Amino acid sequence: MDVEEAVILYNKIPLFQKEKNRLPDINASDVKEKRLAEAIIFLNNLKRERMANG
């Protein structure tokens, strides 16, 4: 996953959360839900790396 894809997916998370009343699950059987969860993890890791590197 790259940053561009992660941002596109991240923008879809509020709609998912509104419909399902929960965040996407990385262990979901639904491929789209799993990909949304992967985007959250990717962006959280990216944020952590950038904060660590200043």
The string of DSSP codes covering 6-33 is HHHHHTTHHHHHHHHSS---TT-SSHHH
User: How does pLDDT run across 6-45, given as a tens digit for each residue?
Assistant: 999 999 999 999 999 999 999 999 999 999 999 999 999 9
CB within 8 Å of 25: residues ≥ 6 apart: 33, 34, 37
Dihedral pair phi/psi, residue 36, rounded to 5°:
-60, -45
**Residue 37 confidence (pLDDT):** 98
Question: What's the domain count of the chain?
Answer: 1
pLDDT band, very low/low/confident/very high, at 54 (cuts 50, 70, 90):
confident
User: How does pLDDT run across 43-53, given as a tens digit for each residue?
Assistant: 999 999 999 99
Q: Whole-model pTM?
A: 0.89
Tokens describing residue 37? 């969860």
- Write out the residue range of the structural domain in which residue 21 sits: 3-53
**Residue 51 confidence (pLDDT):** 93
